[in-house]
Amino acid sequence: MKGPECLDEFYSQDMPSILNKFLSPKTSNEKFVLSTTILHIAGVLDNISDEIVRANAAIEPLLQMIHSPNEGRSRAASKALGELAEDNDLICASLLSTGFLGSVQHTLSADIIDQVETSQQLKLSESYLKQSKEEGDSAHIKDGLLDVVLRIMHSSDNDEELKQIAVLIPALEELKSKGSRRIRRRAKDILSLLGSEGITSVLSSKKEKENELKIRELEELNRKQEELNRKQEEELRQVKELNEKQKVEIAQQKVEIEKWKPKLPQDIAFTTTSVDPADFVISAQGNGQIKIAKQQNKYNNISFGPVLENGIYAVEASFQYSGHGAGIGIVRDTYSIPDNCAPWSVGTAS
């Protein structure tokens, strides 16, 4: 392909479809190399107007070289890509928006095998040692990619673009305590720069949002529960007030009922008063009865207390050996019955 004028013939012969059969990533033979190279050249020769996409054409070969198992070639490519990102804003923007970070995330997420001092200590099998060596050889790839990321962060002043690097935080958190000292240092440097910009992990942000949502849900649940508790407390208070009111009403009704209940006959404690107490001998007979014996042969009187208030009262008296000179009656408390007054006397009380 000598130039853009060859593109029409390239597509007319359906070369992309023909080369497609050699593009399996599981093979790295000469056909794969030539096919990818031809397609890359065809893509670059086509006059693509999008500058970011054109910048990606410069990035892809270097990114492939960084993943070389040859440490020298890999470091040369990472140095070239890092310098390119520092010098060209479009390259920097393309790295942050066209899949570079996804490739970095994939590579960093690979398990890191710590180097062992001697194989005798762990008695590793030959195949395991070979696998550890192959994974250990990828350390220079991780280091190169982290170097490019650091250069991007130092050269870019676009906060929104830098936020995209947050996708690497989970892998960086793992790397800062694993792998070689160089990788740990780079991981810590990147995390420190992200932290200084207030950039957190996408997963952390999602977790924070989930936690905030849970907190809001719990707060709403607590609010509803508190509202329900207040409602129940108010209902309980009203029930208590109603009960107290009913108790008062019942007590008042009992008082009224007692007022209207017929009173059963009761014995009344009484006292006696006489102007001549020596003339009378009083003795209790039980069951509210008393016996009064008059000593002298003359007319005399004796008064009983208390003063009778409103109500119905009954008194029963029996006279013995009194002839016709005995009597019983009720007078006002203010009346004074004179001594030697006979029952038939008239106008003697005052």
Q: Which amino acid is at 239?
A: V
Q: What are phi and psi of 198, to 5 degrees?
A: 70, 25
Cα–Cα–Cα angle for 63, 68, 70, nearest 5°? 140
Please, which residues have CB within 8 angstroms of residue 348's CB and are 6 or more apart in sequence? 337, 338, 341
Q: Is the distance from CB of 95 to CB of 152 less than 8 angstroms?
A: yes
- Output the six-digit token pair for 216: 């809001």
Q: Which residue has the tokens 């109500």?
A: 311
Token readout for 320 is 């013995």
- The single residue listed with the structure tokens 């597509």 is 11
- pLDDT at position 223: 92
Cα separation of 93 and 91, whole Å?
A: 5
- To which H or E segment does residue 15 belong? helix 15-20
Answer with the residue of higher pLDDT: 87 or 204.
87
* Size (the chain), residues: 350
Residue 172 CA to residue 188 CA, distance in Å, equals: 8
Listed ranges 14-23, 25-34, 185-194, 309-318; the one with the highest mean pLDDT: 185-194
Band (pLDDT 50/70/90 cuts) for residue 18 is confident
Question: For residue 193, is pLDDT > 70?
Answer: yes
117 pLDDT more than 50: no
Residue carrying structure tokens 């990828």: 138
pLDDT for residue 220: 92
Of residues 288 and 255, which shows the higher confidence score? 255
Whole-number pLDDT of residue 274: 81
Summarize the confidence of residues 247-254 as an average pLDDT.
Answer: 92
Contact in structure between 286 and 295 (CB atoms under 8 Å): no
Average pLDDT score over residue span 308-337: 78
Mean pLDDT of 28-33: 76
Q: Encode pLDDT of 154-166 as tens digits.
A: 887 777 778 888 8
**Cα→Cα distances 245→93, 170, 240, 252, Å:** 80, 68, 8, 11
Helix (H, G, I), strand (E, B) or coil at 290: strand
Q: Please give the DSSP secondary-structure letter assigned to residue 32.
A: H
Rounded to whole angstroms, the Cα distance separating 151 from 141 reads: 15
Mean pLDDT throughout 142-160?
86
d(CA 272, CA 274): 7
Mean pLDDT of the chain: 79
